[in-house]
Chains A and B, each alone.
Chain A
Amino acid sequence: MAATAPLKAKDFVSDLDVRWCPGCGDYSILKNIQKVMPELGVPKENVVFVSGIGCSSRFPYYMNTFGFHTIHGRAPAFATGIRISRPELSVWVVTGDGDGLSIGGNHLIHTIRRNLNLQILLFNNRVYGLTKGQYSPTSREGMLSKSSPQGSIDHPIDPIALALAAGATFVARTIDVNAPHLQEMLHRAHAHEGTAFIEILQNCPVYNDNEWHELEDRKTRVSSALALANGEPLVFGPMGNRKGIRIHDGVPSIISLADGDDPISHGVATHNEAHHSASYAFALASMARPDFPVPIGVIRAVEKPTYEAMLQTQIDQALEQRGPGDLAKLLHSGDTWTVE
Chain B
Amino acid sequence: MADPKKRIEQVERVAIRFAGDSGDGMQLTGTKFTESTALAGNDLSTFPDFPAEIRAPAGSLAGVSGFQIQFSSEDIRTPADEPDVLVALNPAALHANIEDLRPGGMVILNSDAFSGKNLERAGYDGDPLPALEDRFRVVQIPLTALNREALKDLKLSTREKDRCKNFFMLGLMYWLYNRPMDSTLRWLESKFRGDVFEANQRVLKAGLHFGETTELFPVSFSVPKAKIQPGTYRNITGNQALAWGIIAAGVQLDRPIFLGAYPITPASDVLHELARYRHFGVKTFQAEDEIAAASSTIGAAFAGQLAVCTTSGPGLILKQEALGLAIMTELPVVVVDVQRAGPSTGMPTKTEQADLLLALYGRNSDSPMPVLAPCTPGDCFTIMIEAFQIAVKYMTPVTVLSDGYLANSSEPWLIPEVDTLPRSKIRYHEDPTDFLPYQRDQDTLARPWAIPGTKGLEHRIGGLESEVDTGTVSYVPENHEQMVQLRAAKVARIAQDIPAIEVNGADTGELLLVGWGGTYGAISTAVNEAREDGLDVSSVHLRHLNPFPSNLGDVLSRFRQVLVPELNTGQLSRVLRAEFLVPAESLSKVQGQPFKVNEIRARIDLMLGAGS
A69 touches B463 (CB 8 A): yes
Residues 80 to 98 of chain A near chain B (Cβ within 8 Å)? 80-82, 84-86, 88-89
Contact of B278 among A49, A60, A79, A315 (CB under 8 A): A315
Give the interface SS of chain B, mostly helix, strand, loop or mixed: mixed
Per the bound structure, the CA–CA distance linking A48 and B232 in Å amounts to 48
Residues 5 to 64 of chain B near chain A (Cβ within 8 Å)? 35, 38-39, 41
Chain B residues whose CB sits within 8 angstroms of the CB of A88 once the complex forms: 453
Contact of A324 among B279, B322, B418 (CB under 8 A): B279
B453 touches A337 (CB 8 A): no
Chain B residues whose CB sits within 8 angstroms of the CB of A317 once the complex forms: 278
Contact of B452 among A45, A71, A80 (CB under 8 A): A45
Chain A residues whose CB sits within 8 angstroms of the CB of B292 once the complex forms: 74, 77, 80, 106-107, 110
A85 touches B258 (CB 8 A): yes
A84 touches B258 (CB 8 A): yes
Per the bound structure, the CA–CA distance linking A337 and B414 in Å amounts to 10
Chain B residues whose CB sits within 8 angstroms of the CB of A153 once the complex forms: none
- The count of A-to-B residue pairs whose CB atoms sit within 8 angstroms is 200
Q: Tell me the minimal C-beta distance from B490 to chain A in angstroms.
A: 21
Per the bound structure, the CA–CA distance linking A339 and B224 in Å amounts to 13
B283 touches A78 (CB 8 A): no
Contact of A339 among B41, B289, B305 (CB under 8 A): B41
Q: Tell me the minimal C-beta distance from B409 to chain A in angstroms.
A: 18
A67 in the interface (beta carbon within 8 A): yes
Residues 168 to 211 of chain B near chain A (Cβ within 8 Å)? 183, 186
Chain B residues whose CB sits within 8 angstroms of the CB of A330 once the complex forms: 244, 247, 280
Per the bound structure, the CA–CA distance linking A70 and B322 in Å amounts to 8
A319 in the interface (beta carbon within 8 A): yes
B354 in the interface (beta carbon within 8 A): no
Per the bound structure, the CA–CA distance linking A3 and B223 in Å amounts to 75
Stretch at the interface among B293-301, B396-404, B581-589: B293-301
B304 touches A86 (CB 8 A): yes
Binary B-proximity of A306-340 (CB < 8 A = 1, otherwise 0): 00000100110111011111011011101111111
B457 touches A81 (CB 8 A): no
Per the bound structure, the CA–CA distance linking A327 and B232 in Å amounts to 15
B416 touches A68 (CB 8 A): no
Contact of B418 among A65, A323, A328 (CB under 8 A): A328
A238 in the interface (beta carbon within 8 A): no
Per the bound structure, the CA–CA distance linking A85 and B291 in Å amounts to 18
B247 touches A325 (CB 8 A): yes
How many residues belonging to A are interface residues under a CB distance threshold of 8 Å?
59
A61 in the interface (beta carbon within 8 A): yes
Per the bound structure, the CA–CA distance linking A337 and B186 in Å amounts to 15
A16 in the interface (beta carbon within 8 A): yes
Contact of A74 among B39, B229, B244, B291 (CB under 8 A): B291
Per the bound structure, the CA–CA distance linking A80 and B299 in Å amounts to 7
Chain A residues whose CB sits within 8 angstroms of the CB of B305 once the complex forms: 85-86
Binary B-proximity of A1-43 (CB < 8 A = 1, otherwise 0): 0000000000000101000000000000000000000000001
Q: Tell me the minimal C-beta distance from B460 to chain A in angstroms.
A: 4
Chain B residues whose CB sits within 8 angstroms of the CB of A322 once the complex forms: 279
A195 in the interface (beta carbon within 8 A): no
Chain B residues whose CB sits within 8 angstroms of the CB of A67 once the complex forms: 459-462
Per the bound structure, the CA–CA distance linking A269 and B305 in Å amounts to 49
Contact of A68 among B322, B456, B462 (CB under 8 A): B462
Which of B233, B299, B415, B462 has its CB near the most chain A CB atoms (within 10 A)? B299
Chain B residues whose CB sits within 8 angstroms of the CB of A74 once the complex forms: 291-292, 295, 322
Known: A71-B322, A107-B288. A60 touches B300 (CB 8 A): no
B558 in the interface (beta carbon within 8 A): no
Q: Tell me the minimal C-beta distance from B257 to chain A in angstroms.
A: 10
Residues 472 to 507 of chain B near chain A (Cβ within 8 Å)? 472-473
A82 touches B418 (CB 8 A): no
Per the bound structure, the CA–CA distance linking A325 and B39 in Å amounts to 26
Chain A residues whose CB sits within 8 angstroms of the CB of B456 once the complex forms: 45
Q: Which residue of A lies closest to B416 (CB)?
A: A331
Chain B residues whose CB sits within 8 angstroms of the CB of A332 once the complex forms: 232, 234, 415
Q: Which residue of B lies closest to A106 (CB)?
A: B288
Chain A residues whose CB sits within 8 angstroms of the CB of B463 once the complex forms: 69-71
Q: Which residue of A lies closest to B291 (CB)?
A: A74
Q: Tell me the minimal C-beta distance from A93 to chain B in angstroms.
A: 11
A85 touches B283 (CB 8 A): yes
B138 in the interface (beta carbon within 8 A): no
Q: Which residue of B lies closest to A19 (CB)?
A: B473
B458 touches A45 (CB 8 A): yes
Per the bound structure, the CA–CA distance linking A66 and B461 in Å amounts to 8
Chain B residues whose CB sits within 8 angstroms of the CB of A79 once the complex forms: 299
Which of B277, B283, B303, B454 has its CB near the most chain A CB atoms (within 10 A)? B303
Per the bound structure, the CA–CA distance linking A327 and B55 in Å amounts to 37
Chain B residues whose CB sits within 8 angstroms of the CB of A84 once the complex forms: 258, 283, 285, 296, 300
Q: Which residue of A lies closest to B280 (CB)?
A: A325
A78 touches B458 (CB 8 A): no
Chain B residues whose CB sits within 8 angstroms of the CB of A124 once the complex forms: none
Q: Tell me the minimal C-beta distance from A172 to chain B in angstroms.
A: 24
B473 touches A61 (CB 8 A): yes
Per the bound structure, the CA–CA distance linking A50 and B298 in Å amounts to 12
B302 in the interface (beta carbon within 8 A): yes
A339 touches B229 (CB 8 A): yes
Contact of A77 among B248, B296, B415 (CB under 8 A): B296
Q: Tell me the minimal C-beta distance from B275 to chain A in angstroms.
A: 10
A81 touches B418 (CB 8 A): no
B94 in the interface (beta carbon within 8 A): no
Per the bound structure, the CA–CA distance linking A34 and B57 in Å amounts to 64
Q: Tell me the minimal C-beta distance from A72 to chain B in angstroms.
A: 8
B279 touches A78 (CB 8 A): no
Known: A78-B296, A89-B303, A330-B247. A71 touches B325 (CB 8 A): yes
B247 touches A77 (CB 8 A): no
Chain B residues whose CB sits within 8 angstroms of the CB of A319 once the complex forms: 278-279
Per the bound structure, the CA–CA distance linking A69 and B325 in Å amounts to 9
A339 touches B230 (CB 8 A): yes
B278 touches A318 (CB 8 A): yes
Chain B residues whose CB sits within 8 angstroms of the CB of A325 once the complex forms: 247, 277, 279-281
A190 in the interface (beta carbon within 8 A): no
Chain B residues whose CB sits within 8 angstroms of the CB of A241 once the complex forms: none
B303 touches A86 (CB 8 A): yes
Per the bound structure, the CA–CA distance linking A337 and B183 in Å amounts to 11
B462 touches A48 (CB 8 A): no
Q: Tell me the minimal C-beta distance from A339 to chain B in angstroms.
A: 5
A81 touches B280 (CB 8 A): no
Per the bound structure, the CA–CA distance linking A85 and B298 in Å amounts to 11
Residues 82 to 125 of chain A near chain B (Cβ within 8 Å)? 82, 84-86, 88-89, 106-107, 109-110
Q: Which residue of B lies closest to A69 (CB)?
A: B462
Chain B residues whose CB sits within 8 angstroms of the CB of A106 once the complex forms: 288-289, 292
Contact of A80 among B233, B296, B307 (CB under 8 A): B296
Q: Tell me the minimal C-beta distance from B185 to chain A in angstroms.
A: 12
B342 in the interface (beta carbon within 8 A): no
Chain A residues whose CB sits within 8 angstroms of the CB of B105 once the complex forms: none
Q: Which residue of B lies closest to A107 (CB)?
A: B292
Q: List 18 A-B contacts (CB under 8 A).
A: A44-B458, A66-B457, A70-B295, A71-B325, A77-B292, A78-B296, A78-B298, A82-B452, A85-B299, A86-B305, A86-B452, A88-B453, A315-B278, A318-B279, A327-B248, A327-B418, A331-B416, A335-B35
| Smallest CB-CB A-B distances: 7 pairs | A69-B462, A81-B299, A325-B280, A81-B296, A77-B295, A67-B460, A78-B299
**Apart from A317-B278, A337-B232, 11 more pairs, CB < 8 Å:** A45-B456, A45-B457, A61-B460, A77-B296, A84-B283, A85-B258, A319-B279, A327-B248, A332-B234, A336-B234, A339-B232
